A and B are shown apart, each in its own frame.
Chain A
Amino acid sequence: ETGVTQTPRHLVMGMTNKKSLKCEQHLGHNAMYWYKQSAKKPLELMFVYSLEERVENNSVPSRFSPECPNSSHLFLHLHTLQPEDSALYLCASSQFSRTDISTDTQYFGPGTRLTVL
């Protein structure tokens, strides 16, 4: 049991839809992450909320919008997605410390399998 839950597990949406992915961590961690995992690319970091700061990967399109209302919940709002956005979206959390970055361990949820038609 990872302690990180994600809903929904599967999502099919059209290009004009608006949907949101939800992540919740029960581990008391202070950092949460969104990753994208597609078939032909390495696991890619999209957004980080760490120590109450948001860090973005500048290559993420604006049609992806994260929200972190508190340290336990993380959302990824989706709008006007493209078929190439179909992928497994993974949420993770960790207890981040600037003095011990090397051993920071990510705890992943099971992911949301997103299909954009």
Chain B
Amino acid sequence: TQLLEQSPQFLSIQEGENLTVYCNSSSVFSSLQWYRQEPGEGPVLLVTVVTGGEVKKLKRLTFQFGDARKDSSLHITAAQPGDTGLYLCACRYNTDKLIFGTGTRLQVFP
């Protein structure tokens, strides 16, 4: 059974700080997605990465896909209270099924 580990599990920071969260797998995956889930809502897709070494930017968020296609990171610059939420990575390992990571719960205080 593939397991997608995310770290840290919890993160509390002040507004304006930078942070990085990680997503790691023991197996190579074909594609990876990052979702954000706010309280009382379902997850919402932020980005999809498919190429090893790929870097994508979404405003203050930078997503990187590892060269070996077994890890990914999400970096947030100058975090805002609106960034608060549960960040989930999800990937496919050559099957149709989407496997979700363990999640990183981020709290940004004003």
Do the beta carbons of B92 and A110 come within 8 Å of each other? no
B84 sits at the interface (CB 8 A): no
Say yes or no: A2 contacts B42, CB within 8 Å: yes
The 0/1 profile, CB within 8 Å of B marked 1, for residues 91-103 of chain A is: 0100010000111
A111 touches B33 (CB 8 A): no
Residues from chain B with Cβ under 8 Å of A43 in the complex: 43, 88, 90, 100, 103
Chain A interface main SS type: mixed
Say yes or no: B50 contacts A103, CB within 8 Å: yes
Assuming A102-B50, A103-B50, is B42 touching A45 (CB within 8 A)?
no
Known: A42-B4, A42-B100, A50-B96. Contact between A105 and B42, CB under 8 A? Answer: no
Asked whether A108 and B42 contact (CB < 8 A) given A102-B30, A103-B31, the answer is yes
CA distance A54 to B2 in the complex (A): 22
- Please measure, in the bound complex, the distance between the C-alpha atom of A44 and the C-alpha atom of B96, giving whole angstroms: 14
A residues 58-117 touching B (CB-CB < 8 Å): 90, 92, 96, 101-111
What residues of chain B have their CB less than 8 Å away from a CB belonging to chain A? 4, 30-31, 33, 40-45, 48, 50, 88, 90, 92, 96-103
A22 CB → nearest B CB, Å: 15
Residues of the A chain whose Cβ atoms lie less than 8 Å from the Cβ of B88? 43
Which residues from 3 to 37 on chain A have a C-beta closer than 8 Å to any C-beta of chain B? 4
Q: Within the assembled complex, what's the spacing in Å between the Cα atoms of A103 and B40?
A: 26
State in angstroms the CA–CA spacing of A109 and B45 once bound together. 12
Chain A residue contacts of B98, Cβ below 8 A = 45, 104, 106
